[in-house]
């Protein structure tokens, strides 16, 4: 779910009930692949935007700290390879002003609300996914800079957003996977697009993530509080215009790396950091000057302490004019 990603969301933890290992999938919903091409600026200039995202996350096997498949107990206590599927939606409202506020950056505001249906297999054991579907509200004030122009058009455009994730989503401490994270997270980013040529663009969005404590963690952990580690995550994409002012085709990807350990009751949990890399093809089709359609496919690899599967993302952008 965003937050852009919006990934499968863990309340802490898929705590494993085996003696060998303990897994914690407790990062909030993040923008893993929701945004891609031409990300350095809204596609139609200042004004109001409504955006709708649909993402399917399929056949995601839960991975441990070594990148191996993890198993969870079914209703009979037998360990089975664990998989999760998610149908994720996200509704976004953006206002981009035409008024400079700081360092010539024009102010704007981003509001996003995700929702998801989550399925965990096996689904009849002590570790379960929540049946609720409302995710955490995201609020992000931002500064958008005008493009730096070259002799043949724009060369570079960028934005900085102070993104915040508030714990408003559905959360059940008896469930291992929830739409809401039950914590406040600060997830600012820098997004930019570089026009290598008028037809060839390279875009990226780089986030830093900090998470507060969860004072009501997954109950099978038997803990008073937990805290996810700090992380960076990056979306990147490159596209080439094959039909002038209409169609761009390209490659897209994302990378997530948690770089500090998770904590349970203040104690660091070694070998608990999450990571994943997703890569695949994509396109953006400009239906009109004010309507844009993005499609992205990703196949994940190198996952540790989180799910690894395939993502298929559809995004519609409308500019009110």
Torsion, Cα of 291, 292, 293, 299 (10° steps): -150
pLDDT band at 4 (very low <50, low <70, confident <90, very high): very low
Question: Is residue 210 included in any domain, yes or no?
Answer: yes
Mean of the per-residue pLDDT values of the chain = 89
Question: Is residue 232 included in any domain, yes or no?
Answer: yes
In this prediction, residue 25 carries a pLDDT of: 62
In this prediction, residue 177 carries a pLDDT of: 83
Please state, in angstroms and rounded to a whole number, the distance separating the CA atoms of residues 151 and 139. Answer: 37
Per-residue pLDDT tens over the stretch 84-119: 899 999 999 999 999 999 999 999 999 999 999 888
Handedness of CA 80, 87, 183, 186 (dihedral sign): positive
In this prediction, residue 123 carries a pLDDT of: 78
Number of compact structural domains in the chain: 1
Question: Is residue 234 included in any domain, yes or no?
Answer: yes
295 has pLDDT over 80: yes
pLDDT band at 24 (very low <50, low <70, confident <90, very high): very low
pLDDT band at 321 (very low <50, low <70, confident <90, very high): confident
Question: Is residue 202 included in any domain, yes or no?
Answer: yes
CATH code assigned at 164 = 2.40.160.40
Which comes out higher in pLDDT, residue 9 or 85? 85
Least confident of 28-32, 118-122, 301-305: 118-122
Domain containing 206 equals 47-320
Tell me the DSSP string of 228-274: PPPEEEEEEEEEEEEETTTEEEEEEEEEEEE-S-EEETTEEETT---
20 has pLDDT over 90: no
Q: What is the mean pLDDT of residues 20-42?
A: 80
pLDDT band at 79 (very low <50, low <70, confident <90, very high): confident
Work out the percent of the chain whose per-residue pLDDT is above 70. Answer: 92
10 has pLDDT over 70: no
pTM above 0.75, yes or no: yes
13 has pLDDT over 70: no
Q: What is the DSSP letter of 45?
A: -
Question: Is residue 42 included in any domain, yes or no?
Answer: no
Question: Is residue 267 included in any domain, yes or no?
Answer: yes
Question: Is residue 246 included in any domain, yes or no?
Answer: yes
Question: Is residue 237 included in any domain, yes or no?
Answer: yes
Which comes out higher in pLDDT, residue 250 or 173? 250
Tell me the DSSP string of 215-229: SS--GGG--S-EEPP
């Amino acid at each position: 779910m965003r937050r852009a990603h919006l990934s499968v969301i863990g309340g802490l933890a898929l705590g494993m009930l085996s003696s060998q290992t303990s897994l914690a999938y407790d990062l909030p919903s993040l923008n893993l692949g929701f945004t891609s091409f031409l990300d350095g600026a809204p596609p139609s200039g200042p004004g109001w935007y409504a955006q709708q995202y649909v993402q399917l996350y399929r056949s995601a096997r839960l991975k441990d700290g070594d990148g191996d498949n993890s198993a969870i107990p079914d209703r009979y206590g037998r360990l089975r390879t664990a998989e999760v599927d998610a149908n994720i939606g996200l509704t976004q409202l953006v206002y981009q002003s035409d008024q400079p506020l700081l360092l010539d950056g024009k102010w704007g505001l981003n509001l996003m609300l995700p929702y998801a249906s989550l399925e965990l297999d096996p689904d009849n054991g002590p570790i379960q996914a929540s049946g609720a579907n409302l995710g955490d509200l995201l609020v992000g004030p931002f500064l958008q800079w005008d493009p730096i122009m070259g002799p043949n058009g724009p060369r570079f455009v960028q934005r900085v957003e102070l993104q915040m994730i508030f714990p408003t989503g559905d959360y059940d401490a008896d469930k291992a996977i929830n739409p809401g994270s039950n914590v406040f997270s600060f997830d600012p980013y820098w997004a930019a697009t570089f026009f290598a040529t008028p037809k060839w663009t390279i875009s990226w969005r780089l986030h830093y993530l900090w998470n507060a404590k969860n004072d009501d963690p997954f109950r099978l952990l038997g803990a008073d509080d937990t805290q996810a580690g700090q992380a960076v995550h990056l979306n990147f994409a490159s596209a080439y215009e094959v039909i002038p002012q209409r169609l761009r085709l390209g490659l897209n990807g994302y990378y997530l790396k948690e770089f500090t350990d998770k904590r349970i009751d203040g104690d660091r949990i070694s070998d608990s950091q999450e990571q994943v890399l997703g890569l695949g093809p994509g396109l953006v089709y400009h239906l009109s000057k004010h309507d844009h359609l993005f499609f992205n496919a990703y196949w994940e690899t190198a996952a540790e302490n989180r799910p690894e599967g395939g993502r298929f993302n559809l995004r519609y952008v409308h500019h009110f004019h």
